[in-house]
Amino acid sequence: MKIFVTVGYLGIVFFLGYLGWRNTKKTEDYMLAGRQMPPFVMAMSYGATFISTSAIIGFGGVAALFGFSLLWLTFLNIVVGVFLAMVFLGGRTRRMGLSLGSMTFPELLGDRYGSRFIQGFSGGVVFLFIPVYAAAVLIAISRMLEVSLQIDFNMALVAFTLILAVYVILGGLKGVMYTDAFQGTIMAVMMIILVIAVYSRLGGVVEAHTALTNMADLVPPPLQEKGLIGWTQGLAVGSPLWLTVYTTIIYGVGIGVLAQPQLIVRFMTVKSDKELNRAVLVGGLFILLLPGVPYVAGALSNVIFHQETGMLAIQVAEGNIDKIIPLFIETAMPGWFSTLFLLAMFAAAMSTLSSQYHVGGTSLGRDVSEKALGLTSGGSFRITQIGVAVTILATLIWAWTLPEAVIARATAFFFGLCAAAFLPAYLLGLYWKRATRAGAVFSMVGGFSLSMFWLLFVHVKESEAIGLCNALFGKVSLAADAAQGSWVWLLQWVDPNVVALPVSFILAIVISLITSPPSDEHIAKCWSRLGKKA
Amino acid sequence: MLGFASLELALSFWLTLAAALGCVIWGVLNWNKGDDDNPE
């Protein structure tokens, strides 16, 4: 049954990839889907790229541990990641990109500031770091394939890579977005079934929450000490858990999402702002389901597990939070659902991976090789296809060679670097005519370097996994042997963006103000489609 | 309160639903606005 459904699913994916390939004639088709995507496809592709397997399995498991506090993350995903992003950044990005003829996010930055260095630098950052982030997604789904279909891990890794390679290299962004929309639809339908099943099994919405409320005295003592009062009671203000959950939500996800090149490029794939307005409707509902439903299901899994086994979710999963959601699906849902849920997980991983490959490839091909280094042999189209192939290969190599602890931290790495390197130059570039090339260069290089330093030498989660700090200085973080409880000692848990992002903003603003403004002619060109409000 | 023990978490539930509803309302109200001929 599982094999049959999987083959059927792959058949449709290949067909949609073929449609993308057949309708791809010129560079603009390959890189921006011809700027003609319908709003439904754009919104579903945006959402499916945004949400990978880790948001469902990983964060769903975290919700089982910490409870409903994680819903604030969904709230911010909808408000910031969909509404603010599409309404306040999407339209401007699309129109400025059209005026300047930009094909990628690094190219938009490069064109706005009139700098090939900016395009090459941004493209280089994306190309170098996105394969490590993609490797994390690839490993996760290959492990799942290993467990559920009994396929050897290495074979799963190669098979997955080959399937994706075919439709991303040939189909370009059209292939990627058509398949994303199909995969996003599968994910959304499965979540609707899941949320109805969970609430009806527990007798209704209020009854389900009440049952979880009544379990507050079962919170394990170690979690109580760190600040968890109960799954519907929340976290004690100022406790370590409260700090972790809220700073990660606000900085890591809430703001980080605005600077993701693979999401920003989607704003440039639609014909007009009308499509973006319509996409807000679809995107808002999609993000409500994903990641909203896995969080609700994760938290309520405690009630169902307790009724069935007398244990909490984390105890059933023997302490491994990544096992909670798969175990919950297996034990609490009918057999046919677990087969289709597996498919939804494939869909979630493939839609994220395909976009990572595509954005890495356009960065290497278009931004670095063609524009920054001036290599033009074979034309833009061919160079980008080669770029995609190199990105796919790099991802496979990372997945094979790096230890998994490093790979898992790579996601945080990519989000941190993108926010500090790109967000100020991007936001100010869209809204502030006075922002200059020098301001953008200082902000990008400064923000990137500080974020990198923080990740390698201060923030203990990454610095410990990577080990460079230990190799050079004999300690896991430079802040590790400061007096315990002092502010220097606490720095090792402070997110890099708390430090690097403000510095990057300050550099962009101060350097812009002390350097001469861009020419009126250039600004007029950039703002030519931005209307009276500009 | 929908069975939640704290106002904060009840609020997170309601506001998440309200945010999604807000997106739907925005989409419906602006369904035909924003054509290229008629910017903003």
Token readout for A139 is: 């490993």
Tens of pLDDT along A350-394?
Answer: 999 999 999 999 999 999 999 999 887 667 788 999 999 999 999
Residues of B in Cβ contact (< 8 Å) with A285: 20, 23-24
Give me the residue spans of the domains in chain A: 2-402, 420-534
- Residues whose CB falls within 8 Å of the CB of residue B29, separated by 6 or more in sequence, listed in order: none
The average confidence (pLDDT) of chain A is 91
Question: Does position B40 have pLDDT exceeding 90, yes or no?
Answer: no
The predicted pLDDT at position A12 comes to: 95
Specify which of A43-47, A52-56, A142-146 reaches the highest per-range mean pLDDT: A43-47
**C-beta neighbour count of A35 within 10 angstroms:** 17
Cβ atoms of residues A343 and A9 within 8 Å: yes
How confident is residue A245, by pLDDT bands cut at 50, 70 and 90? Answer: confident
Q: Which residues of B touch A67 (CB under 8 A)?
A: 9
Residues of chain B positioned with their CB less than 8 A from the CB of A207: 3
Nearest CB to B24: which of A211, A281, A292? Answer: A281
Choose between A497 and A394: higher pLDDT: A394
Q: At A2, is the pLDDT very low, low, confident or very high (cuts 50, 70, 90)?
A: confident
Cα A130 to Cα A426: distance, rounded to the nearest angstrom? 19
Q: Which pLDDT band, with edges at 50, 70 and 90, does A124 fall under?
A: very high
Q: Is residue A412 over pLDDT 90?
A: no
Note the pLDDT of residue A534.
37
Distance CA(A45)–CA(A265), nearest Å, equals 11
Cross-strand partners of A146: none
Greater confidence, A332 or A349? A349
Note whether B4 contacts A68, CB cutoff 8 Å: yes
Would the pLDDT of A255 be above 80? no
Whole-number pLDDT of residue B39: 46
Q: pLDDT tier at A511 (50, 70, 90 boundaries)?
A: very high
Q: Does the pLDDT of residue A250 top 70, yes or no? A: no
Residue A440's pLDDT band (boundaries 50, 70, 90)? very high
Q: Pull the structure tokens for residue A153.
A: 């891990």
Q: Of the candidates A75, A276, A529, which has its C-beta nearest B12's C-beta?
A: A75
Mean pLDDT, range A273-288, rounded to an integer: 96
Residue A410 has pLDDT above 80, yes or no: no
CA distance A440 to A308: 57
What pLDDT shows up at residue A253? 66
Helix (H) or strand (E) holding A229: strand A228-230
Using an 8 Å CB-CB cutoff, list chain B residues near A279. 27
Q: Are A223 and A65 in contact (CB under 8 A)?
A: yes
What percent of chain A is predicted at pLDDT more than 90? 71
CB spacing of A281 vs B27 below 8 angstroms:
yes
Bridge partners of A230, per DSSP, are A234
Q: Determine the residue type at A469.
A: C
Separation of alpha carbons A348 and A407, rounded Å: 18
Q: Which residue has the tokens 């595509």?
A: A358
Peptide bond into A424 cis (omega under 30): no
Distances (CA, A) of A408 to A98, A413, A414, A465: 37, 9, 11, 9
User: Which of B16, B25, B30, B36 to substitute to test the interface with A, most A CBs within 10 Å?
Assistant: B16
Verify whether the Cβ–Cβ distance B3 to A234 is below 8 Å.
no
Average pLDDT over residues A182-190: 96
pLDDT at A148: 75
Per-residue pLDDT band for A40 (boundaries 50, 70, 90) equals very high
- The verdict on a CB contact (< 8 Å) between B23 and A529 is no
Q: Tell me the fold of A2-402.
A: Sodium/glucose cotransporter (1.20.1730)
Q: Nearest CA to CA, how far is A446 from chain B (Å)?
A: 35
Task: Enumerate the β-bridge partners of residue A234.
Answer: A230
Taking only the tens place, the pLDDT of each residue in A125-155 is 999 999 998 998 898 888 878 877 788 989 9
For residue A7, give both structure tokens.
């083959």
Please list, residue by residue across A421-447, b when 16 or more beta carbons sit within 10 angstroms of its beta carbon and e when fewer do: bbbbbbbbbbeebebbbbbbbbbbbbb
Q: What is the CA radius of gyration of chain A?
A: 23
- Relative orientation angle of helices A437-453 and A496-514, to the nearest 10 degrees: 160
CA separation, residue A173 to residues A343, A358, A429 (Å): 22, 7, 25
Q: What is the pLDDT of residues A228-238, one digit of tens each?
A: 999 999 999 88
By C-alpha distance, the chain A residue nearest B38 is A531
**What is the count of residue pairs from A and B with beta carbons less than 8 Å apart?**
123
Distance from CA of A278 to the nearest CA of B (A): 5
Convert the pLDDT of each residue in A323-339 to its tens digit: 899 899 988 888 889 88
Q: What distance in Å separates residue A524's CA from the closest CA in chain B?
A: 16
Contacts of B34 in chain A (CB under 8 A): 91, 272-277
Judged on CB neighbours under 10 Å (0-12, 13-18, 19+), A244 is middle
| pLDDT confidence band for A251 (50 / 70 / 90) | low
B12, B33, B34: residue with CB nearest A71 = B12
Query: Both tokens of residue A196?
Result: 């109805």
- b/e A180-204 (16+ beta carbons within 10 angstroms → b): bbbbbebbbebbebbbeebbeebee
Q: How far apart are CA A72 and CA A86, in angstroms?
A: 20
Query: Which residue from A78, A233, A234 is facing B19, i.e. has the nearest CB?
Result: A78
Report pLDDT for A394: 96
Model confidence band, residue A47 (pLDDT cutoffs 50, 70, 90): very high
Ordered DSSP codes for A299-364: HHHHHHHHHHHSS-HHHHTTT-GGGHHHHHHHHHS-HHHHHHHHHHHHHHHHHHHHHHHHHHHHII
Torsion of CA A211, A217, A218, A224, to 10 degrees: 120
CA distances B15 to A22, A191, A241, A445, B10, Å, are 43, 19, 22, 38, 9
In the chain, the amino acid numbered A87 is V
Give the minimum alpha-carbon distance from B9 to chain A in angstroms, rounded to a whole number. Answer: 6
Residues of B near A (Cβ–Cβ under 8 Å) read 2-6, 8-9, 12-13, 15-17, 19-24, 26-28, 30-36, 39-40
Strand partners, A235: A228
Q: Shortest CB distance from B23 goes to which of A83, A206, A210?
A: A83
What's the pLDDT score for residue A252? 66
